[in-house]
Amino acid sequence: MLISSCQASAQSPFKLPDLGTSALQALPIEKEQALGNVMMMQIRSGSPLLQDPVLDEYLTSLGNRLVANANDVRFPFTFFWINNPAINAFAFYGGHVGVHSGLIAQSDNESQFASVLGHEIAHVTQRHLARRIQKAQDNSALTIAGMIAGVLATVVAPDAGMAIIAANSTQAALSQLTHSRKAEQEADRFGMQTLHAAGFDATQSAEFLSKLAAQTRFKNKPPVFLLTHPLPDSRISDVRLRAQQYSPIRLMESTKFQLAKSRVLARNQYKSEDAQAFFERELKHSSKLDNRALQYGLALSLLDQDKYLLAENIILKLLSNEPDNLFYLDAYTDILIGQEKAVEAVKLLQEKHEFRPNNQVITLNFANAAIEAKQYNKAAQLLKIFLLDKPEHTLAIDLLSKVYKEQGNKSAYHETKASLLAQYGAYIQAADEIQRALNNVKKQETVKASRLKALLSQYRQMQKELAKL
């Protein structure tokens, strides 16, 4: 089943937008999406993506809640994590929104975290990057390669982006690497509207910007977010005045936000031993009756040090009150696998999967547990069905390749590896894997051989498209 989904996606090679004509007045939606897909490939291949189904589930749910309440949404959005402790988030062509793990670690509440996402969504819906293409063309020649390099350097590695400006201080380069004051004002305004419409406290937009401004006061180097999102005093004042249009909302503390934050602190901000000390200290001094997130963070820090029994004691208590909590189920699966009880994990997740068959956290944990339990057919079936709905899910593709390797299915293994490489834009290597798959096709499998040859041709065509950059 995975093979057919991969084949379908490969039958429509992307076409890079032609930015060479001065007659281009705006970037058409379909070309913006194609450009966004190319940039996403570049990010996958060169950035520390955080592939965590639990955090992905939380971020996507929160992001989609905001998108559902935004204006001028023209296409589906994609949200993803970058494993980076800096406070940063960025959006680019085609509705792709990247979030640094440090952003949630430094947010005091979910409204603050959501305010930054709403701001980035507004950059996309108001087509600030698409408008920037036209402005850059008015100043100088613009190539896709230069545009991608400039935007990616800034949003993913801002120091490199600033170096590009230093090396090439043309107006076009400067325009490529920073949002204008007008664009920031628009994103602030529309982002705040979206935040309010989605049921969050819009006044937290101003609180978060003030927090960022306070961090710059005694530092020579500003937070990463401010390198591409300028923060003059007038902007803070403007956001504060606009926030006064909305009444503060007293929201119950979001448990999912707190759990996601604890997960990031435990696994991405601290070393495991330091995380354990942090959570033990916080629990000791916490006055909150509900300290589930702190207990969860402590359990993760113990799990990551292979202290399985200590971690299990905490997670089982948490699960007793919330047996379907995805954060806890994910941790408990890892604990059972660490204790070499993968069969027990399979039984647990089999039951959960029957009630939530489309949930990525349950499905991927189930498949991973099945692999550890050497139940390869079960794992393959789960992953094939999952990939019909999410054919570009790199973690699922990687797991399926492991299944085929364990089964000794060389043809399927190499084809699946090719699919994974294609997600990173590595079409030459993907074509090599398809050739290896062809080498392992039996003589009587003529239909399969024909399909693989067609796929080989498509990957080579995709490489030619990339070579145009």
- Residue 326, domain CATH: 1.25.40.10
Do 229 and 321 share a structural domain? no
Q: Is residue 34 part of a domain?
A: no
For the cut 80, the answer to whether the pLDDT of residue 151 exceeds it is no
Looking at the chain, how many residues does it have?
Answer: 469
Asked if the structure places residue 283 within a domain, the reply is yes
119 annotated binding-site participant: yes
The total domain count for the chain is: 2
Q: Which of 32, 56, 188, 304 is catalytic?
A: 188
Residue 257 belongs to what domain range? 253-339
| Tokens 């994974």, residue located | 420
Share of the chain above pLDDT 70, in %: 78
Residue 184 marked ligand-binding:
yes
Structure confidence at residue 6 as a pLDDT band (50, 70, 90): very low
Q: What is the dihedral of CA 55, 60, 62, 66, to 10 degrees?
A: 160
Same domain, 103 and 191: yes
Q: Are residues 59 and 165 in the same domain?
A: yes
- Are residues 141 and 210 located together in one domain of the fold? yes
Whether residue 126 has pLDDT greater than 80: yes
128 in a domain, yes or no? yes
- Both 112 and 238 in a single domain? yes
Do 262 and 214 have their domain in common? no
Q: Calculate mean pLDDT across residues 329-351.
A: 98
Q: Which residues contact 353 (CB under 8 A, 6 or more apart)?
A: 359, 362, 363, 366, 382
pLDDT higher than threshold 90 for residue 418: yes
Q: Of 218, 243, 268, which residue is a domain's last?
A: 243
**From CA 324, how far away is CA 57, in angstroms rounded?**
14
Residues 89 and 117 in one domain: yes
Average pLDDT over residues 102-111: 94
How large is the average pLDDT for residues 78-98? Answer: 88
Task: Report yes or no on 290 lying in a domain.
Answer: yes
If pLDDT is split at 50, 70 and 90, which confidence band does 24 have?
very low
Examine the domain organization and report whether 233 and 286 are in the same domain: no
pLDDT of residue 187: 83
Instruction: Report the distance separating Cα 223 and Cα 437, nearest Å.
Output: 47
> 62-76: per-residue pLDDT in tens?
999 999 999 888 888
56 counts as catalytic:
no
Active-site choice (57, 120, 201, 433): 120
If DSSP states are collapsed to H, E and C, what string results for the chain?
CHHHHHHHHHCCCCCCCCCCCCCCCCCCHHHHHHHHHHHHHHHHHHCCECCCHHHHHHHHHHHHHHHCCCCCCCCCCEEEEECCCCCCEEEECCCEEEEEHHHHHHCCCHHHHHHHHHHHHHHHHCCHHHHHHHHHHHHCCCCHHHHHHHHHHHHHCHHHHHHHHHHCCCHHHHHHHCCCHHHHHHHHHHHHHHHHHCCCCCCHHHHHHHHHHHHHCCCCCCCHHHHHCCCCHHHHHHHHHHHCCCCCCCCCCCHHHHHHHHHHHHHHHCCHHHHHHHHHHHHHHCCCCCCHHHHHHHHHHHHCCCCHHHHHHHHHHHHHHCCCCHHHHHHHHHHHHHCCCHHHHHHHHHHHHHHCCCCHHHHHHHHHHHHHCCCHHHHHHHHHHHHHHCCCCHHHHHHHHHHHHHHCCHHHHHHHHHHHHHHCCCHHHHHHHHHHHHHCCCCCCHHHHHHHHHHHHHHHHHHHHHHCC
Report which of 102, 96, 359, 107 is spatially closest to residue 209, judged by C-alpha positions.
107
264 domain-assigned: yes
Q: Confidence band (pLDDT; 50, 70, 90) for 216?
A: low
Residue 315 lies in a domain: yes
Q: Where a domain ends, among 295, 314, 339? A: 339
Residue 280 assigned as binding residue: no
261 and 218, same structural domain?
A: no
197 & 320 share domain: no
Assess if residue 363 is contained within a domain: no
Query: Domain end: 289, 310, 339, which one?
Result: 339
Q: Is residue 175 over pLDDT 50? A: no
* Residues 141, 180 within the same domain: yes
Q: Is residue 197 part of a domain?
A: yes
Residue/partner pairs of 24-31 with CB below 8 Å, 24 or more apart: 24/133, 24/134, 24/137, 25/134, 26/127, 26/130, 26/131, 26/134, 27/93, 27/127, 27/130, 27/133, 27/134, 29/74, 29/75
Measure the CA angle with vertex 55, ends 49 and 58; round to 5°: 130
CA distance 446 to 278: 60
pLDDT band at 218 (very low <50, low <70, confident <90, very high): low
- Residue 114's pLDDT is 96
Q: If phi over 0 gives left and psi between -120 and 50 gives alpha, with beta otherwise, what is residue 72? A: left
- Site of tokens 């850059």: 136
398 is catalytic: no
Residues 366, 456: Cα–Cα separation, whole Å:
32
In this structure, which amino acid lies at residue 378? Answer: K
Higher pLDDT, 129 or 121: 121
Is 126 in the same domain as 267? no
Average pLDDT, the chain: 83
